[in-house]
Amino acid sequence: MKLRDIIRVVEGKVLTEGVNLDMEISCAAGADLMSDVLAFAKPNALLLTGLVNPQVVRTAEMADIAAIVFVRGKMPGPETIALAREKGIPLIAAPYTMFEMCGRLYEAGMASCDLDTKQG
Amino acid sequence: MSQVPQITRIQELIYELPIERVVTRNVITVSPDTTMSELKEILRINRISGTPVVEGGRLVGIISIEDLIKALESGDIQAPVRERMATRVITVQANESVVEAVKKFAQYKVGRLPVVNEHGDLVGILTGGDITRGLLEAIGLDYHAEEISRYRARHIFEDIVSDQTGLILRYHIKPRDFTGGGSASSKIKRALDRLGAPPLIQRRVAIAAYEAEMNLIIHTDNGGELIAEIQPEVIRIVATDNGPGIADIEQAMQPGFSTAPNWIRELGFGAGMGLANIKKCSDSMKLESQVGVGTRLEIVIRIQPVMSSGNAARPSEGQQKQETS
Amino acid sequence: MIALAEIVQKLNLEVVGSAENLDRRVVAGYASDLLSCAMNRAKKDYVWVTLQSHANVVAVASLLDLAAVIITEGNRPDDETIARAESEGVCLLLTPKTTFTVVGELTALGVRGEPEQP
């Protein structure tokens, strides 16, 4: 699924400039614990989260997460946006709860980032 | 480079690059007093289809092969260019950015544009090809600088010969620095990328180092030190601190066990999964601690010989694109 | 509104803690791994999807009178937490699936992020 389609499904707004909307997203995960995000680490994944602190971007950088969607219209602070810009990780704000957004994306055919037993 | 920054870079360049950087200079021109018959020879010899008309350096018109054909048809071949040239010429300014020329190419559907300076003097002729070449060169310069850095970094272990060569990266980690947390791990990941480590290894090291770094930030009194020792076949991460120490290591290793305060949990950390994550990413790990003295965590990640050589050759692409599971 | 028992059956969930809630109707769903968010947003008869499995999850569920908590990614509460869930009448449902998949499957069964307007 392309990032463009995801943004349409969650009615999101892109918070960082220069985003490649045709980027292919392989799977999605809804998570608020950064260690959990690091555990499912897969390239080209989409993270839906209720956290907006800079560590979310750091975690995405370490785990090669392709893009981050913030739930319930939460807006990250300037530090978070600056770090995302520096690392080239698109940030998207969307109005719905994590439950609603996971549901919508699942209905739209998005795959889940399933946990591997082996790291990778 | 991944696709996103490249597209952005070209967009930037179209706005940044001045026309004078890409324009073809020393173009063939004629004077208004040149006859159409002389023009015919100039066009034929130089194999061109038109030229700017210049008087005292200033651009006064443009004359093309079409004008010549019309002159031939009407038997006016001895007339001066002045009488047959087009005087309303679409031009671009040398100090404008390339984007202005791109707009005019599209708007007027012309293939070339005379370029003038602020006094109206002819500087040269600009074609679409000039712009493409200029952009490619500018990107090539950027690309080259990064390539050279990578090349140099990647050959460190070949260039410097010893019985055991290692690169040591050492970082001081401040306690409770939640905002800056992860910057050391980020630098380690970048170093590995430059050194040409496979993407999977980069990710494993980054995750293990980041969990260790966050542990120092969250749990220590005075912060600590994060050290990455990079050798051609193995990467060792060592995190040390001087307290408070872990009372029961076996318990600490259990997934879900945590002593993190609530504020840390609400920031998405301290759920007791960090050490389990580190263990999963590492080939071996060793945790030693004494209450009141300090803790030492050592993580070892081996670099397996890369199966497909493409992996090691282009680590930066792999960051975003390669499926590794 | 769907009964909890049907969700358990359709999603193939393992029931631990109290089973007395299984005939309850689920009005909506909430997903978060942050207890404070769940405290603020989840309501009576909601099902809460999280990977957290520690004792405080039971406390939140009991306080809000949630229909159930679905604990994802194969996380398993310890015996003490299960005992507490039993005594407080909290239904814990376990699954190896991710939060994303569980929410997707709940959505397919008609459970949404907000209760349906009557």
CA neighbor of B200 nearest in space, from B257, B100, B281, B280: B281
> Do B256 and C75 count as a contact with CB atoms less than 8 A apart?
yes
CA neighbor of B89 nearest in space, from B138, B122, B56: B122
Which of the four pLDDT bands, split at 50, 70 and 90, describes residue C20?
Answer: confident
CA neighbor of A91 nearest in space, from A70, A110, A113, A64: A70
Q: Which residues of A touch B2 (CB under 8 A)?
A: 88
- For A19, which of B4, B199, B204 is closest by C-beta distance? B4
**CA-based angle B36:B42:B48, to the nearest 5?**
110
pLDDT of residue B312: 39
pLDDT of residue B79: 93
Q: Which residues of chain A have pLDDT under 70?
A: 115-120
pLDDT of residue B10: 72
Give all chains having 3 or more CB-to-CB distances under 8 Å with chain C.
Answer: A, B
Taking the CA of residue B85 and the nearest CA in chain A, the distance in Å comes to 45
Give all chains having 3 or more CB-to-CB distances under 8 Å with chain B.
Answer: A, C
> Would an 8 Å CB–CB cutoff place C56 in contact with chain B?
no
Tell me chain B's radius of gyration from C-alpha atoms.
33
User: What is the tally of helices (H) and strands (E) in chain A?
Assistant: 5, 5
pLDDT of residue B172: 96
pLDDT digits (tens, 9 = 90+) for B28-41: 999 999 999 999 99
pLDDT of residue B242: 94
pLDDT of residue B255: 83
Residue with the two structure tokens 């601690």: B289
3-state secondary structure of B32: coil
Domain ranges of chain C: 2-108
Q: Which residues of A touch B4 (CB under 8 A)?
A: 18-20, 23, 88
Size of interface A-C (CB pairs under 8 A): 89
pLDDT of residue B202: 93
pLDDT of residue C24: 93
pLDDT above 70 for B245: yes
pLDDT above 90 for B13: no
Q: Which residues contact B90 (CB under 8 A, 6 or more apart)?
A: B104, B108, B110, B113
pLDDT digits (tens, 9 = 90+) for B81-99: 999 999 999 999 999 988 8
pLDDT above 70 for B324: no
pLDDT of residue B310: 40
pLDDT of residue B53: 95
CB C14 within 8 A of CB C6: no
> Do C107 and A103 count as a contact with CB atoms less than 8 A apart?
yes
- Class assignment of domain B3-134? alpha beta
> Would an 8 Å CB–CB cutoff place B320 in contact with chain A?
yes
Q: Which residues of A touch B (CB under 8 A)?
A: 18-20, 23, 26, 32-36, 38-39, 41-44, 49, 51, 53-56, 58-59, 61-64, 66, 79, 87-88, 116, 118-120
Instruction: Work out whether strand C2-3 and strand C25-26 pair parallel, antiparallel, or are unpaired.
Output: antiparallel
* Positive/negative CA dihedral, C15, C21, C27, C32: negative
> Would an 8 Å CB–CB cutoff place B241 in contact with chain A?
no
Q: Which residues of B touch C52 (CB under 8 A)?
A: 271
> Would an 8 Å CB–CB cutoff place B155 in contact with chain C?
no
pLDDT digits (tens, 9 = 90+) for B155-204: 888 788 888 888 999 999 999 998 889 999 999 999 998 888 888 899 99
CA atoms within 13 A on the CB side of B38: 11
Q: How far apart are CA B241 and CA B174, in angstroms?
A: 11
Q: Does A118 reside within a domain?
A: no
pLDDT digits (tens, 9 = 90+) for B52-71: 999 999 999 999 888 999 99
pLDDT of residue B308: 39
pLDDT digits (tens, 9 = 90+) for C43-98: 999 999 999 998 889 999 999 999 999 999 999 999 999 999 999 999 999 999 99
CATH for C2-108 (3.30.300.130, 3.90.1300.10, 3.40.1390.20, 3.30.450.20): 3.40.1390.20
CB B167 within 8 A of CB B237: no
CB A67 within 8 A of CB A44: no
pLDDT of residue B316: 40
Q: How far apart are CA C60 and CA C49, in angstroms?
A: 13
Q: How far apart are CA B218 and CA C52, in angstroms?
A: 20
Supply the DSSP string of A73-102, one letter for each residue: T----HHHHHHHHHHT--EEE-SS-HHHHH
Provide the terminal-to-terminal Cα distance of chain C, rounded to the nearest Å. Answer: 11
pLDDT digits (tens, 9 = 90+) for A55-68: 999 999 999 999 99
pLDDT of residue B142: 66
- For A103, which of C51, C74, C104 is closest by C-beta distance? C104
> Do C33 and B266 count as a contact with CB atoms less than 8 A apart?
no
Range of the domain at A15: 3-107
> Scanning every residue of chain A, which has its alpha carbon at the shortest distance from the alpha carbon of B316?
A64
Task: Using a pLDDT cut of 90, give the percent of chain B over it.
Answer: 49
> Do A119 and B182 count as a contact with CB atoms less than 8 A apart?
no
> What's the gap between Cα B81 and its chain centre?
49
3-state secondary structure of B50: strand
Q: Return the bridge partners of B293, or none.
A: none
Size of interface A-B (CB pairs under 8 A): 112
pLDDT above 90 for B227: yes
- Backbone torsions φ then ψ of A23, nearest 5 degrees: -55, 135
Q: What tokens appear for C80 in the block?
A: 């003490």
| Strand runs labelled E in chain B | 50-55, 58-64, 92-93, 112-116, 122-127, 167-173, 224-230, 234-241, 284-290, 294-302
> Would an 8 Å CB–CB cutoff place B268 in contact with chain C?
yes
pLDDT of residue B152: 80
> Would an 8 Å CB–CB cutoff place C36 in contact with chain B?
yes
**pTM, full prediction:** 0.71
In chain B, what is the greatest distance between 2 CA atoms, to the nearest angstrom?
A: 106
pLDDT of residue B8: 62
Q: Return the bridge partners of B122, or none.
A: B116
pLDDT above 60 for B246: yes
pLDDT of residue A120: 36
CATH 3.30.565.10 residue ranges for chain B: 164-321
Taking the CA of residue B93 and the nearest CA in chain C, the distance in Å comes to 56
The CATH number given to whatever domain includes residue A45 is 3.40.1390.20
> Would an 8 Å CB–CB cutoff place B267 in contact with chain C?
no
> Would an 8 Å CB–CB cutoff place B273 in contact with chain A?
yes
Tell me which CATH code domain B164-321 carries.
3.30.565.10
Q: Domain tally for chain A? A: 1
> Do B200 and A120 count as a contact with CB atoms less than 8 A apart?
yes
Q: What tokens appear for C51 in the block?
A: 């990977």
Q: How far apart are CA C33 and CA C44, in angstroms?
A: 18
Count CB neighbours of B261 within 10 A: 11
pLDDT of residue B7: 55
Instruction: Work out whether strand B112-116 and strand B122-127 pair parallel, antiparallel, or are unpaired.
Output: antiparallel
Q: Which residues of B touch C54 (CB under 8 A)?
A: 256
Tell me chain A's radius of gyration from C-alpha atoms.
13
Q: How far apart are CA B121 and CA C76, in angstroms?
A: 80
pLDDT digits (tens, 9 = 90+) for B88-147: 999 999 999 888 898 898 888 888 899 999 889 999 999 888 888 888 887 777 667 777
Helices (H), C3-117: 4-10, 35-41, 55-64, 79-88, 99-108
pLDDT of residue A42: 84
Q: How far apart are CA C118 and CA C114, in angstroms?
A: 12
Q: Between these two residues, C105 and B156, which has the higher pLDDT value? A: C105
